Every structure is written in structure tokens, then in C-alpha cells.
Amino acid sequence: MLAAAALAYLPFRAGAAEPGSAPVILVVGDSLSAEYGLARGTGWVALLERRLQEGRRTARVVNASVSGDTTAGGRSRLPALLQQHRPAVVVIELGGNDALRGLPLSGTRDNLRAMIRASREAGARVLLLGMDMPPNYGERFRAQFRAVYTDLAREEKVALVPFFLAGVADGPQAAALFQDDRIHPNERAQPILLDNVWPVMLPLLPPSR
């Protein structure tokens, strides 16, 4: 929250965008943002676009999320996405699949850092969505994994949602908010995910025209 507020006064440089075009919010994520197992248009990214329209905010959402993607995949895809869409805001929602596959946390950290810096160099503000792992992964690993996000947000001075699945994975109604695979949030959970992102994203958005 504080990181987002601190960045709110910085000027936008999404400079290569066409004059007069709506600024772009680019979401680079995995299945949690790619509407895996959901009806089209019901995921949190689609709800974000709807909320922006209802609030008469001049921004366009591009969902470049890919189910199963890792931070390495996002890092490799990002340069072309930045060149194509010239975003004003980049939302990074990656890392969960790295941990599920047992990939080194150092690689996850390096990939996320590279994505943050590439986005900033392209003139975008960055919002990092933090993740956690289930208790069976052990508290030591979970703390190390969470620290990847909190440390990067502090070091790189970017906005952070500490736990993207807050109120979904850790709430009293968790069992009712997941699909049958117990991994992916269902349609009922999507507004909660958006509400986790919205207050941190809002200070990063360009002023309405």
C-alpha cells in the first residue's frame, strides 16, 4: 500500500504509446489470472476491466496470462509484450508454479527482478502480486517464498499486494471458493481477488481524462 502511494505522484512515461490512446494495464500471470476453469469473462482481470469502465476510467486491460507459466516464461515473453502494448502499468502475477515445480527461489527472484526492471525501463509502473504456499510445504520454505515478493517490492520500490489469495485461500470459506482441483479459485472468489488488487493498483493508474 505504502509503495503504491509513494509512486502515485511520479509522472507517466508510457511514452511510445499513440497520442490520445487509452493507457494499457498489462497483466502477466499464470492460471490464476488466465481464467483457468472459469467461464470466459468471469475472472478477476475481466472484472477489473468492467470496474474501470463503470468508473469511467480511460484504461485498457490486456491479459497476457498463460496457464502453467513460470517466472522464466513470463520473463521471456515480456519484452515483446512491452513493445507491442506499451503499457502504463504492468501487473506481475507469477511465481506459484515455480514453487510447485520445486524450482530454486533464487531463479524466481532473479526472473521477477528482471521483469520489474524491464517494465520500468519501458516507462511502466509495476504492481507485484505476492503469493504463499500451502502449510504442507513447511513454514521455513513458506517464509522464504513470501520474502521473495516483499524483499523485491522494497528493494525495487514497486507496489505490492502481499498475498494475492488473501480472503480466498486463508479465509473461513476457503473450501467453497476453490474449484474441484483445490488449486484454482472458482468464480465466487474472483471479486475477492479483484478487491485485493484494486486499492493497491488505483494510485498507479493514470488520471482519468
Q: Which residues are catalytic?
A: 31, 181, 184
Cβ burial 80-119 (10 Å sphere, 16+ → b, else e): ebbeebbbbbbbbbbbbbbbeeebeeeebbebbbbbbebb
**Angle, CA 27 vertex, CA 101 and CA 74 arms, to 5°:** 40
Rounded to 5°, angle at Cα 92 from 124 and 181: 160
- Other beta carbons within 10 angstroms of residue 187's beta carbon come to 14
Q: Name the residue with cell 490486456.
A: 62
